[in-house]
Amino acid sequence: MSTVQLHRVIQAPVDKVFRAFSDPLAQAFWFPPYGFLCEVHQMDFRLGGTFKMSFHNFTTQKSHSFGGSYLQLKENEIIQYSDSFDDPNMPGEMITTVNFKSVSVGTEIHITQEGIPEMIPAEMCYLGWQESLDKLIKLVSPVINE
């Protein structure tokens, strides 16, 4: 089991960045890395609530599903959730913690993901998160007042 840590400063207000993690439509847009589509089957965004989603590989047309529960939630400050894969070849439970902080230019986020299954190399995890965070920034940074 491995752990990855990421840090970003995003030019968007903290409430908008936090909302991107709590809204199922937003998550379906930004959460899957490039080349994947995300289907959010269920998302009960509250302390103790659960979620279930699938990532679909657009090239191979294969999917993998995963889900978990929300362990800590404090609006605009922290989200911590557990999740595990439905695939028995990827056992165990991962814990992801996202800390949000309002800063002068927008939002600072720190992400820690622990308990990553051995069959997923840490560098693949970093690459996936980097792509997802790039998509997150493209979602929350524009200011469209319509």
Distance CA 107, CA 31 (A): 18
Average pLDDT of the residues in 51-69: 96
pLDDT at 88: 86
Distance CA 2, CA 92 (A): 11
User: Which domains does the chain possess?
Assistant: 2-140 (3.30.530.20)
Predicted confidence (pLDDT) at residue 1 exceeds the cutoff of 80 = no
Q: 137: how many CB neighbours lie within 10 A of its CB? A: 19
